[in-house]
Amino acid sequence: MNKDKPSSGQQLDSSRRRFFATAGGAIGVAVLANAIPSITQAADLPHLTTDDPTAKALNYVEDNTKAPAPHQAGQECSNCNFYTGAATGYGPCQLFVGKSVNAKGWCSGYAKKA
């Protein structure tokens, strides 16, 4: 066997590595390309205000430490099941479509993230 010339098995392994390296990179780019518009859209959503009628009805507050009962310590939008944003700043809430809520906020629709 010629030590300088790769065997067909080695060539196949090399081809597989190249394929997975290329495919993995392409998939990563596709995932990022899909994520960027939603991040941009979430950032563009207007902030929910406490003057909003639905916000008032659900006792929404921007600072969970000032939330009325039945609020319990540790409950905040960032760990609510209806929140889909980042742990800080503002993000979308499924109860307030088209608006973003404060990650540190709270409302009486709170449901602990599963």
- Interacting residue ranges for ligand SF4, rule: CB under 6 A: 60, 77, 80, 82-83, 93, 95, 101, 105-107, 109-110
| Minimum distance from residue 44 beta carbon to ligand SF4 (Å) | 18
Question: For ligand SF4, which is the closer residue by CB, 42 or 82?
Answer: 82
Q: Phi and psi at residue 59, in whole multiples of 5°?
A: 55, 35
Residue given tokens 């518009």 in the structure block:
37
Question: For ligand SF4, which is the closer residue by CB, 45 or 101?
Answer: 101
Nearest to 109 by CA among 61, 43, 40: 61
Contact 62, 104 (CB under 8 A): yes
| Minimum distance from residue 96 beta carbon to ligand SF4 (Å) | 6
